[in-house]
Amino acid sequence: MKVKQLSAFLLFSTLLFFACNQQDEPIPFKYESGIFVVNEGAFGGTGTITWHDPVSGATEQDIFGKANGGAALGEFAQSLTFHDGKGYICIGNGTKIVVVDAATFKYIDTIGGLSKPRYLMPYGDHFALVTQWGADGVSGTVAKVDLKTNEIVQTSPVIGSGPEKMFRFNDDVVLIPNSGGYGIDSTIVTFRLSTFSVVSSTKTGGKNPAVCALSNADVFVLCKGVFGTPPVSGWLGVADEPATGESVPVFSDDLCSSPDGSSLYFTSGTAIYQRKNNTVAPFIQQSAYGLTCNPSNGRLISTDARDFNSAGEATVFNPDGSIVERFATGIAPGEIVVK
């Protein structure tokens, strides 16, 4: 009888021990899908990442900090790229890219030796291109990074200032718009991966080209324009046909296309604009800093940075422009990634 009681006691103690351990060491949440907003952060502060689940409506702020004991990313988080089970976060006012586990956002490594990195684009078996502005914000270069070692293996100038978000034209060719950085530029360079060099440079019809998008088999480029007295309007047109474009409101940004390629969308101050059937017009009256289109359902997602010193907000729109939902973000919400 005592043996049975002892065995039962030991079994109960073992179960209690495992139960306590499970409570003390919770399973980390996995960010396997959802909407990720890259918050640049305030001057002198740190960037953060907001995660939102459009199915449940759940939102979490600073998921990198939460996953890493309150660690900070650094000043001005610029972009986030998911690739091969990892997330790569470019810190735009620094010298690094922070590498995290794509599902948990646990820190893995740092890619150092960079200078104001902007965007990362994986290619080949284990390489990536990284655009960077340089320490002075105008000495543009592109770096080749080995994603197995997280080290820079090659660097090339881009014959321009402020190289921005890259567009993969085909297996060997990448288009890189030169946004001017802290200066002014008007060129897009054609970059060949096989030779790791600039093939050609094309002058656009506007100032400070920042992003490209595909619409009806044409590659369009959006130029931000220039603040000043007087201000220089933005410009939207086919990348290799500068004479065919048209002026758009100054400081336009974040060009994206609908899933079927029939429409283009971009932000500009207090409105989201649409280009459809060769006509550009305001589509949604909404203050927008960042913008993307969900490729699976065509919903637009925009961010409002408000005063750039307090929490921002993201809004999800149906393809017809009606609001689906809103959710809070961190400070200065910029790039939006749908996973």
Give the model confidence (pLDDT) of 144-179 as tens digits: 999 999 999 999 999 999 999 999 999 999 999 999
> Mind listing the pLDDT tens digit for each residue in 269-301?
889 999 999 999 999 999 999 999 999 999 999
On the question of pLDDT at 258 being above 80, the answer is: yes
Q: How many CB atoms lie within 10 A of CB 318?
A: 12
State mean pLDDT over 96-124: 98
In this prediction, residues 131-147 reach a mean pLDDT of 97
Per-chain mean pLDDT for the chain: 92
The pLDDT-based confidence of 28 (bands split at 50, 70, 90) is: low
Give yes or no for a contact between 287 and 312, defined as CB atoms under 8 angstroms apart. Answer: no
- The residue among 313, 188, 172 whose CA lies nearest residue 240 is 188
> Which pLDDT value is given to residue 244?
87
Average pLDDT of span 105-129:
97
| DSSP run (H or E) holding 194 | none
pLDDT at 319 over 50: yes
Q: How distant, in Å, are the alpha carbons of 146, 269, 284, 327 from that of 316? A: 36, 17, 12, 9
* CB 272, CB 228: distance < 8 Å: no
How high is the pLDDT of residue 242? Answer: 86
Which tokens in the block code for residue 169?
């034209």
Type of residue at 307: D
Interval 179-200: pLDDT, tens = 999 999 999 999 999 999 999 9
The pLDDT of residue 218 = 96
